[in-house]
Amino acid sequence: MDLSNDIVIHIKDGDIEYLQFRKLLEYSDVISHCYSLGTNVNFRTFSKNDKINENNKDNKKNENEYEKVISDYKNLCDNIGLDYRNLVKGIQKHTNNVKCVYSKINKDEPDFNMEEYENIDGLVTNKTNIILSSTSADCISLLFFDPVKKVIANTHSGWKGTLQRISVKTIEKMVKEFNCKKEDIIVCICPSIRKCHFEVEEIVKDMFLNEFKELGEENLKEIIEEKVIGQKWNIDTVLINKIILKNIGVKEENIIDSKICTMCNPKILHSYRVEKENYGLNTAIIGLNNYKHKNK
């Protein structure tokens, strides 16, 4: 299966597979990025307490799985020329909290499961020794890049994050902390569940109607579609993000959508709604790459 289209390129290198945005590849001298593919890799990490707690019956299993995650990250980062030890990832909790990253905490391992990143779903940096990671399995990962100020961001926006407009919060953080201009920022929308499969109950539909009523009746008709009369609605969270980003000043041509649905491609992408409680996670990675991995 090849997911390449006019927006993304599907890269296969041995057992490693990932997507890259054609637009961001125009700046490959400045940044490296990718979105992982393959259900044989899983970026679902455990907390350190789960990993080392001697009283935990699943300790060995969790430790093995944690080491597998680290290995998968290392292989992926090696392939795009970055040092996995510089990875930073928030403990995602479907918030609209966005944090700037100015330095690493751990010296020789990624900053995963760190108290400093509890309840953080968006990360921003201008540092060349920081790699930003987010994970998802139907939720949207968004990669941001300002080629003028050389600032990057990586944000996890599930339906709850979309309701809280975390994509807009990320732009605002880039503008406030790094003097970015909205019209310069490129936003790439990674694979996620799409309107074709994002089916919700009335209570969730009403939340979206109430939150985004300023978008107007015509937009809402396109965003929310009734599938089963009075029972089920399909919602286009990708379109919502496109509209609210455009409305705050991001150029339409700088909002780049992968056009790929996770639920439509379960053989190569993790999907929570397909895999249920045993779900795996895809990862999106972006780093300023004038700090290249020495071994690459």
Helices (H) and strands (E) counted in the chain, each on its own, are 9, 15
Residue 12's CB: how many other CB atoms inside 10 A?
11
The predicted-structure confidence for 115-137, as pLDDT tens digits, reads as follows 999 999 999 999 999 999 999 99
pLDDT score recorded for residue 52: 46
- How far apart are the C-alpha atoms of 77 and 71, rounded to whole Å? 10
Helix H or strand E encompassing 104 = none
Per the structure block, which two tokens stand in for 120? 């953080």
Query: Which residues, in sequence order, are bridge partners of residue 13?
Result: 16
- How far apart are the C-alpha atoms of 42 and 91, rounded to whole Å? 16
CATH fold for domain 8-198+236-288: CNF1/YfiH-like putative cysteine hydrolases (3.60.140)
Query: Which residues, in sequence order, are bridge partners of residue 142?
Result: 155, 189
Per the structure block, which two tokens stand in for 269? 């992408």
Band (292; pLDDT cuts 50, 70, 90): very low
Q: Is the pLDDT of residue 112 over 80?
A: yes
Per the structure block, which two tokens stand in for 254? 């700088």
Is the full-model pTM beyond 0.85?
yes
Residue boundaries of the structural domains of the chain: 8-198+236-288
The predicted-structure confidence for 153-171, as pLDDT tens digits, reads as follows 999 999 999 999 999 999 9
